Structure 1
């Protein structure tokens, strides 16, 4: 016998799960949210100590609640973000049950719904929402064998410079995480090598407005698909120290040695692709094109925003770009640890339904999966560029709730027809 029956089961109580609960509650749809740890656990325990949100508080939030005691243009710390979701869950009375891990989800045979086995018993659910987000399985490329003895950690396990052994550090990956970690390590007195791959590099602020505002008014958050070949291109932007534009030239001037994309390792030597100059140039082009689009928007709409001609001026390329290091003897360079800021993969091994492609990625349209009754929430590019951001997931949750409500309407028709038939027989 099942321990509980519920109409909608939401798995995960991070930003996606709380957003989904908000909309389900608004529609009066019975649901339960289960979370194996605590609300917003990844913000609590899978981020480095000094992390702040990459967007200002006025933007990286849900519509129904502001950040408490935080200037709208400031950047919330990871603890403030976690506290925000706890407060939001309390505000809406979200039915969240923490400390419950989902072990398997299987489709019922011969009847609607799903059988969900958890550490707290069996739950029967008509609909299941996988709100576990995009950061499920840390990815470390199999380049440096563990037998080398060189300490290697993923950015999700990095906390602070004191965590690493004394010596230089190689940081692989130049998205928001890699850049901020490399900068923090360099400021702590470490020698840092930073492997830079393809990236977008927006200005943190331009003409008095944050880049999130510019991406909004220019319609870039609503892009439905990434440019061809840019599906995994990261955004190099930082909210640290009050927010600043990521400038790889400035990082090099500060002492960080920039390298191309890491491609192989052999006998203590790491080799890098000869693509550093190209990656920097492509990031610069992205940066300058956004400035040009912003200037055109200001002129077209007659806005009174201060000009910033100096923002268009790029400094000279550092020596490490013009004369790139293609091979690094890690021991000779004093490198005693590697931080891999190389992103995450998905792990839906517990969701045993026909909703995945041959690579284990969800088959879905805006979060509505190929398996009727199963939904995904919090995926990158789920419906738009902004889907994996705090505000974006809230809007995607509304779409999924609308879809569930429509399906409930069809089921209600079937139930009414069955009652009518039963009445006719009687």
Structure 2
């Protein structure tokens, strides 16, 4: 059996894999990118039909290629984003091989490198970069049994309202996916309940600038670690309909019933925590803190940006917040679907190296793992807050590629004969 040999193997041809390919090429490192499906496949087949990017086109891209067919302040559709990455692969002449699944990576015995078993044969690589991203295994809490008489699906399997059976929908999770799907269902005439936990709620725009701009000039994208307890706090932001600030009071005014965090299920009844008002208030405080920081930045730097006092005005508290629902009989409420917008877990079961902790999470520092030659790119907080965003992963990939180049120089070193240690 012929064994293919390569210096660096990149697993995954999404935004992380392509960013790695560009920087590896810049470093002159021979590499191969393997993708089990198509380039940026998750954007095409694991997102709902109407999804658009959560950041404007001028921001959510790589430095080397713009979106030349949409306004820089517009929000690209999911198909346009997938096409962008396919075009980027051509732009940088990335050595991508599609339709090849990586099934196992293990340390090669007795010499540097790794033996990689794929659906197309075996590859030996000196380095392996896991660029499969953070959205690997959908998480559905084991609360509601399959025989409960209600359809259950994760947000990655949702496509449009017509896909769901007739009746009401309980959406669990109030991050970007949950709020956008809940609003789409409500606009389609569905009865919707939205279970909202703790969240950050930035303004879409403030004083004429998108919130991604504010996070940039305020240095927030570069925060090296989340504040304590905020590692997995969801962010409620949307680029839908040209970009709107997520406002839970407005969602309630549209007919969506807000409830607290989903806590348990028994006898056809879902129980919710009594934390809805607290969670809404937490999001408000996050929202106002960014406005305060933006105002201070404007004053300190003398910027000519229009004041926006109306941004601080909140509407009245909806009845579902002041008189929260503690439990919901799904059948009596006409709920036929539970849509779990509850995030994802990583799945590195194919990586048979000592680089994962007891919960299966990568052990690394800025993407450099505890096993020399294994790297990670595209994970949240890999090096900073922006690490899992399109532009952020590009910068992280440069650091990892430079590390690989440096390691190659060490491995290539040979001492001159007069300095080699002689055997005793």
The Cα of 1:420 is off from its aligned counterpart by 8.7
Unaligned regions of 5+ residues in structure 1, if any? Answer: none
Give the aligned partner of residue 355 of structure 2.
Answer: 355
Give the aligned partner of residue 159 of structure 1.
Answer: 159
Give the TM-score of the pair, scaled to structure 2: 0.98
Give the aligned partner of residue 228 of structure 2.
Answer: 228
Give the aligned partner of residue 55 of structure 1.
Answer: 55
Give the aligned partner of residue 244 of structure 1.
Answer: 244
2:201 and 2:362 mapped to 1: Cα distance?
Answer: 28
Write the deviation string for residues 14-63 of structure 1: whole angstroms up to 9, x where unpaired.
00000000101111110000000000000000000000000000000000
1:254 and 1:103 mapped to 2: Cα distance?
Answer: 47
- RMSD of the alignment, in Å? 1.3
2:415 and 2:128 mapped to 1: Cα distance?
Answer: 25
2:25 and 2:43 mapped to 1: Cα distance?
Answer: 24
2:305 and 2:182 mapped to 1: Cα distance?
Answer: 33
1:419 and 1:295 mapped to 2: Cα distance?
Answer: 65
Write the deviation string for residues 172-229 of structure 1: whole angstroms up to 9, x where unpaired.
0000000000000000000100000110000000000000000001111011111111
Q: Does 1:91 align with 2:91?
A: yes
1:2 and 1:26 mapped to 2: Cα distance?
Answer: 29
Q: Does 1:408 align with 2:408?
A: yes
Give the aligned partner of residue 195 of structure 2.
Answer: 195
The Cα of 1:316 is off from its aligned counterpart by 1.4
SS of structure 2 residue aligned to 1:79: helix
Show structure 1 runs of 4+ deviating over 2 A. Answer: 416-422
Give the aligned partner of residue 338 of structure 2.
Answer: 338
Give the aligned partner of residue 74 of structure 2.
Answer: 74
1:370 and 1:318 mapped to 2: Cα distance?
Answer: 50
1:268-347 pair list within 5 angstroms: 268-347=268-347
Q: Is the 8 Å Cα contact of residues 19 and 394 (structure 1) preserved in structure 2? A: yes
1:420 and 1:34 mapped to 2: Cα distance?
Answer: 44
The Cα of 1:330 is off from its aligned counterpart by 0.4
1:102 and 1:68 mapped to 2: Cα distance?
Answer: 34
Q: Does 1:385 align with 2:385?
A: yes
1:159 and 1:73 mapped to 2: Cα distance?
Answer: 25
1:130 and 1:27 mapped to 2: Cα distance?
Answer: 18
The Cα of 1:419 is off from its aligned counterpart by 8.5
The Cα of 1:3 is off from its aligned counterpart by 2.6
SS of structure 2 residue aligned to 1:141: coil
2:332 and 2:417 mapped to 1: Cα distance?
Answer: 80
The Cα of 1:149 is off from its aligned counterpart by 2.7
1:393 and 1:328 mapped to 2: Cα distance?
Answer: 41
Distance 1:3 1:203, change over 3 A: same
The Cα of 1:13 is off from its aligned counterpart by 0.2
The Cα of 1:421 is off from its aligned counterpart by 8.9
Write the deviation string for residues 256-306 of structure 1: whole angstroms up to 9, x where unpaired.
000000010001000000010110000000001100110110010000001
1:72-151 pair list within 5 angstroms: 72-151=72-151
Q: Is the 8 Å Cα contact of residues 2 and 123 (structure 1) preserved in structure 2? A: no
The Cα of 1:383 is off from its aligned counterpart by 0.4
Unaligned regions of 5+ residues in structure 2, if any? Answer: none
Give the TM-score of the pair, scaled to structure 1: 0.97
2:380 and 2:2 mapped to 1: Cα distance?
Answer: 34
1:13-24 pair list within 5 angstroms: 13-24=13-24
